[in-house]
């Protein structure tokens, strides 16, 4: 490729405004429709399969790519979006057809999917890849390493996150966004509850034990199974087909979190109020209202048992292994990794942050409710700067990163999020979680 994400900023800026307006009027179109591709020399188009609930980030990127044409890349080919149906029966049939085509080396050229979030309470629609980490090892996707090694857009991405799309040194998928769990609080409430920074700078079990002694300061106690996997550095070895954590280790975490939840419930009942300091989350959404009230938002890393932050890839892209237009397919994916496109990933809407390090500051500000034009004009307060930086720092030190799976959602929902914590059997739940991990590892 002879043009990259750093060379078209002025041109794209004008197109972005038009695309945003179009998106506001037409949303993402009807199922099975796509943006009108610009003509290509060969008269062909790359077919991109994705879900029907196309994110604004991807919707705008496809429109801008198709409108920009060869001015964006010498390897340009238009992209035609093929959306999966939302009706369960039609979706199942479409997914089966896609799987058959993939194995036969036919069908769509590109795939972009957002995996079900562990924070979702409703059962998600069937995924094309129940565990993408296994699919990446199947050989159905193209090795993009020859393109990524010389691509400035790829080089600007977080290395640990991009490694989640690599198998045996082959870059077979490109993560587009990722997320991590962290503790959120305001400094004022931390002070009120007598909780020091050091109290939150330990492993999950130690933090839970510390907070149990001061239950009045605990809201949204971290007993939810949603936070069990982030507490583990890497639960599955896909190459060996084994689970790297024992049922006893999972049960121990669940038991610790359960006692914390019980203590929190008792303190809440006694005081008649619910404190929200600190609590676990995947987004600093509360920061906007807290800042408006003159509070000081703080984010703290939710450290796994090895002392690092465990993260997950929410959205990833891949190219069919025998795609006839690999250069053009990668040119479009590189466009998605450019600063300008990555800045459109909204952490508030997608509970994820861009993989592009140059876009993360803007994303952090967006996550706490600060508009891009305020950031660009320097109209940002010291409190907002500190809150945005605190959010970014809560993702460090970054340890293991893996792509989300259907099992993550299932595990997260094995424990009722607001059920009586003292009625939950930690050993039984741990056995169920282990079984779900084992099923993924041995698939």
Q: What is the pLDDT of residue 404?
A: 82
Omega before residue 265 within 30° of 0, cis = no
Whether 297 and 184 have beta carbons less than 8 Å apart is answered as: yes
The 10s digit of each residue's pLDDT in 307-362 is: 999 999 989 999 999 999 999 999 999 999 999 999 988 887 777 899 999 999 99
Q: What is the pLDDT of residue 371?
A: 86
The residue whose two tokens read 């060869």 is: 70
Domain ranges (residues) in the chain? 9-178+312-379, 182-281+413-441
User: What is the predicted pLDDT for the residue at 93?
Assistant: 93
The model's confidence at residue 28, banded by pLDDT at 50, 70 and 90, is very low
Tokens of 19: 């695309």
Say how far apart CA 213 and CA 260 lie, in whole Å.
9
Amino acid 287: pLDDT: 93
Distance from the Cα of residue 232 to its chain's centroid: 17
Reported as a pLDDT band with limits 50, 70 and 90, residue 114 is: confident
- The pLDDT > 90 percentage for the chain reads 42
Instruction: State the pLDDT at residue 161.
Output: 97
* Strand-pair partners of 316: 113, 175
Taking only the tens place, the pLDDT of each residue in 34-80 is 344 444 444 589 999 998 666 788 889 999 999 999 999 999 999 99
Hey, CA dihedral for 248, 250, 255, 260, is it positive or negative?
positive
- Whether omega before 397 lies within 30 degrees of 0, making that bond cis, reads yes
More confident residue, 75 or 17: 75
d(CA 180, CA 166): 20
Integer Cα distance of 427 and 24 in angstroms: 49
Of the CA atoms within 13 Å of residue 220, those in its CB half-sphere come to 13
Going by C-alpha positions, the residue among 317, 313, 315 that lies closest to residue 398 is: 313
pLDDT at 104 over 80: yes
User: Does pLDDT of 222 surpass 70?
Assistant: no
Looking at the predicted structure, is the pLDDT value of residue 141 above 60? yes
Q: What is the pLDDT of residues 259-316, one digit of tens each?
A: 666 666 665 566 555 555 677 788 898 899 999 999 999 999 999 888 999 999 989 9
CATH code linked to domain 9-178+312-379: 3.40.190.10
Angle between helices 357-367 and 382-393 (to 10 degrees): 120
Sequence-separated (6 or more) residues with CB below 8 Å from residue 414 = 225, 429, 432, 433, 436
Token pair of 78 as six digits = 């238009």
Full 3-state SS string of the chain: CCCCCCCCHHHHHHHHHHHHHHHHHHCCCCCCCCCCCCCCCCCCCEEEEECCCCCHHHHHHHHHHHHHHHHCCCCCCCEEEEECCCCHHHHHHHHHHHHHHHHHCCCCCEEEEECCCCCCCCCCCCCCCCCHHHHCCCCCECCCHHHHCCCHHHHCECHHHHHHHEECCEECCEEEEEEECEEEEEHHHHHHHCCCHHHHCCCHHHHHHHHHCCHHHCCCCCCCHHHCHHHCCCCEECCCCEECCCHHHHHHHHHHHHHHHHHHHHHHHHHCCCCCCCEEECCCCCHHHHHHCCCCEEEEECCCCCCCEEEEEEEEEEEECCCCCHHHHHHHHHHHHCHHHHCCCCHHHHCCEECEHHHHHHHHHHHCCCCHHHHHHCCCCHHHHHHHHHHHHCCCCEEEEEECCHHHHHHHCCCCCCCCHHHCCHHHHHHHHHHHHHHHHCC
Mean per-residue pLDDT over the chain, rounded? 80
| Count of alpha carbons within 13 angstroms of residue 371, beta-carbon side | 4
Residue 407: name the closest of 181, 235, 166 by CA: 235
* Gap between the Cα atoms of 345 and 228, Å rounded: 26
What is the Cα–Cα distance from 85 to 53, expressed in whole angstroms? 10
Chain segment 232-250, per-residue pLDDT in tens = 788 889 889 999 999 998 8
């Amino acid at each position: 490729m002879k043009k990259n994400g750093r060379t078209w900023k002025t041109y794209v800026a004008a197109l972005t405004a038009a695309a945003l307006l179009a998106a506001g009027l037409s949303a993402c179109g009807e199922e099975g429709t796509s943006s009108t591709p610009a003509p290509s020399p060969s008269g062909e188009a790359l077919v991109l399969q994705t879900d029907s609930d196309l994110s604004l980030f991807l919707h705008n990127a496809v429109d801008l790519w198709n409108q920009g044409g060869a001015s964006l890349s010498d390897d340009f080919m238009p992209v035609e979006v093929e959306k999966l149906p939302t009706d369960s029966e039609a979706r199942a049939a479409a997914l089966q057809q896609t799987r058959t085509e993939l194995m036969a080396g036919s069908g769509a050229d590109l795939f972009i999917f957002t995996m079900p979030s562990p924070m979702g309470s409703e059962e998600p629609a069937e995924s094309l890849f129940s565990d993408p980490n296994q699919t990446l090892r199947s050989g159905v996707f193209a090795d993009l390493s020859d393109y990524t090694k010389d691509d400035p857009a790829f080089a600007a991405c977080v290395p640990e996150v991009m490694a989640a799309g690599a198998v045996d040194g082959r870059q077979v998928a490109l993560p587009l966004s990722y997320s991590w769990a962290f503790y959120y609080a305001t400094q004022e409430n931390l002070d009120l509850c007598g909780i020091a920074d050091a109290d939150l700078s330990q492993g999950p079990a130690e933090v839970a034990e510390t907070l149990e002694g001061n239950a009045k300061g605990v809201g949204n106690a971290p007993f939810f199974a949603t936070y069990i996997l982030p507490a583990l550095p890497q639960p599955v070895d896909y190459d060996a087909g084994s689970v790297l954590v024992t049922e006893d280790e999972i049960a121990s975490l669940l038991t610790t979190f359960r006692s914390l939840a019980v203590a929190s419930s008792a303190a809440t009942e006694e005081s008649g109020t619910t404190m929200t300091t600190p609590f676990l989350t995947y987004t600093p959404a509360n920061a906007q209202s807290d800042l408006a009230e003159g509070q000081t938002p703080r984010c703290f890393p939710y450290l796994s048992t090895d002392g690092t932050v465990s993260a997950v890839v929410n959205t990833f892209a891949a190219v069919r292994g025998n795609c006839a237009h690999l250069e053009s397919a990668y040119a479009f994916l590189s466009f998605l990794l450019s600063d300008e496109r990555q800045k459109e990933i909204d952490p508030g809407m997608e509970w994820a942050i861009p993989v592009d390090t140059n876009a993360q500051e803007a994303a952090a500000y967006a996550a706490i409710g600060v508009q891009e034009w305020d950031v660009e004009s320097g109209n940002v307060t010291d409190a907002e700067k500190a809150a945005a930086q605190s959010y970014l720092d809560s993702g460090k030190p970054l340890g293991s990163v893996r792509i989300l799976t259907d099992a993550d959602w299932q595990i997260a929902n094995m424990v009722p999020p607001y059920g009586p914590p003292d009625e939950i059997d930690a050993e039984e739940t741990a056995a169920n979680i282990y079984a779900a991990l084992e099923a993924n590892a041995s698939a």
